[in-house]
Amino acid sequence: MPTEEIVKSGVERLPMWEMYPGFWAYTRWIIYAIAVVVVAVFVYGWWQRIQAYRLGRKAEGALDAKGARAGELLRYWIAQLKVIKETYQGTFHLLIFWGFVVLFIGTALTVLDEDFWRLLTGNKFIHGNFYVIFSFLLDLFGLLAIVGIVLAMFRRYVTKPKGLDNKSEDATLLLFILAILVTGFLTEGARIGVVMGAKGLNNVGYEASSFVGFGLGKLFGDSPALHKLFWTVHILISLAFVALIPYTKALHIFSTAGSIFTHSLKPKGKIIEPIPDMMERMEKGEEVELGYKRLENLTWREILQLDACTRCGRCQDQCPAYNTGKHLSPKEFIQATKNYWQAKWAAKRDAQVELSGKPAEGAAEAVPEGGKFLLKVEAAMNGEEPAVVGYVDSKVLWDCTNCMACMNACPVMIEHVPLITAMRRELAMEFDDSEAACKTFFKNMDTNCNPWGMNPGDRAKWAAEDGLPTVFDNPEYEYLFFIGCMGAFDAKAIKANRAFAKILKEAGVNFAILGEMEFCCGDSMRRLGNEASFQAIIAMFKSTCTDAGLDPTFKGKKVVTLCPHGYNCLKHEYPDFGFEWQVFHYTELLNQLVKSGKIKLKGGNGKTAVYHDSCFLSRYNDLTAEPRELLAAAGYRVMEPERRELKTFCCGAGGGRVWLEEHIDEANGIYRINNVRADEVVGVGAQNIVTACPFCGMMFDEACKRSSLEKAMESQRLVDLAELLAENMVVKEPKAE
Question: Over the stretch 437-451, which tens digit does the pLDDT of each residue have?
Answer: 788 899 999 999 999
Residue-number span of the structural domain to which 119 is assigned: 3-48+88-246
Rounded to an integer, the average pLDDT of 213-230 is: 94
Digit-coded pLDDT (tens) for 227-254:
999 999 999 999 999 999 999 999 999 9
CA 412 to chain CA centroid, Å, is 7
> For residue 413, what pLDDT band results from cuts at 50, 70 and 90?
very high
Nearest alpha carbon to residue 125 among 104, 140, 108:
108
Q: Are residues 619 and 571 in the same domain?
A: no
**What CA–CA distance (Å, rounded) separates 393 from 333?**
9
Domain with 357 in it: what CATH number?
1.10.1060
Same domain, yes or no: 454 and 527: yes
Query: Does one domain contain both 209 and 309?
Result: no
Residue 736 is predicted with a pLDDT of 53
Q: What is the pLDDT of residue 115?
A: 83
Looking at the predicted structure, is the pLDDT value of residue 269 above 70? yes
In a domain, residue 261? The reply is no
Where does residue 658 rank: exposed (0-12), middle (13-18), buried (19+ CB within 10 A)?
buried
pLDDT tens sequence across 270-310: 999 999 888 888 888 888 888 998 889 999 999 999 999 99
Element (H, E) at 442: helix 436-448
Same domain, residue pair 602 and 478: no
Averaged pLDDT for residues 511-534: 95
Which segments within 260-312 are labelled E, that is strand?
none
Higher local confidence (pLDDT), 290 or 99 = 99
Confidence (pLDDT) at 386: 67
pLDDT of residue 734: 63
> Final residue of a domain: which of 562, 593, 624?
593
Residue 399: inside a domain: yes
Average pLDDT of the segment spanning 552-563: 96
Higher pLDDT, 23 or 477: 477
| 641 lies in the same domain as 578 | no
| CATH number of the domain that residue 654 is part of | 3.40.50
**Residue 589 sits in the same domain as residue 600:** no
Answer yes or no: do 205 and 302 share one domain: no
The more confident residue out of 539 and 8 is 539
**CA–CA separation, 184 vs 501, rounded Å?**
71
pLDDT value at residue 367: 34
Specify the 3-state DSSP secondary structure of 60: coil
- CA 493, CA 480: separation in Å to the nearest integer? 18
Average pLDDT over all residues of the chain = 91
pLDDT band at 530 (very low <50, low <70, confident <90, very high): very high
610: in domain: yes
Average pLDDT (557-586) is 97
Q: What is the pLDDT of residue 123?
A: 84
Contacts of 279 (CB under 8 A, 6+ apart): 532, 535, 536, 539
- What would the mean pLDDT of 625-630 be, rounded to a whole number? 98
Please give the backbone phi and psi of residue 583, each rounded to the nearest 5 degrees, phi first: -110, 135
The more confidently predicted of residues 445 and 735 is 445
Instruction: Based on the fold, state whether residues 232 and 101 are members of the same structural domain.
Output: yes
At 668, which amino acid appears? N
How many domains are contained in the chain? 4
Domain boundary among 571, 593, 615: 593
CATH number at residue 121: 1.20.950
Average pLDDT over every residue of 674-689 = 97
Q: What is the DSSP letter of 313?
A: -
33 and 8 in a common domain: yes
Question: Would you state the pLDDT for residue 382?
Answer: 77
Residue 260 domain-assigned (yes or no) = no
Tell me how far the alpha carbon of residue 720 is from its chain's centroid. Answer: 30
The answer to whether residue 735 is domain-embedded is no
In a domain, 76, yes or no: no
pLDDT single digits (tens) 14-23: 777 777 877 7
**Which band of pLDDT confidence, cut at 50, 70 and 90, is reported for residue 11?**
confident
Residue 117: pLDDT band by 50, 70, 90 thresholds? confident
Among 560, 550, 406, 566, smallest CA distance to 480 is for: 560
Render pLDDT for 323-372 as a digit per residue (tens, 0 to 9): 999 999 999 999 999 999 998 888 888 775 444 444 444 333 333 343 57
Q: Kindly state whether residue 682 falls inside one of the protein's structural domains.
A: yes
DSSP labels, 67-112? HHHHHHHIIIIIS-TTGGGSHHHHHHHHHHHHHHHHHHHHHHHHHI
Are residues 146 and 184 located together in one domain of the fold? Answer: yes
* CA atoms lying within 13 Å on the CB side of residue 141: 19
Residues 194 and 335 in one domain: no
Of the three residues 196, 230, 246, the one that is the final residue of a domain is 246
Task: Judge if 578 and 618 occupy the same domain.
Answer: no
Within a domain: residue 68?
A: no
Window from 276-285, 306-315, 387-396 with minimum mean pLDDT? 387-396
**Which residue intervals of 263-299 are DSSP H helices?**
278-283
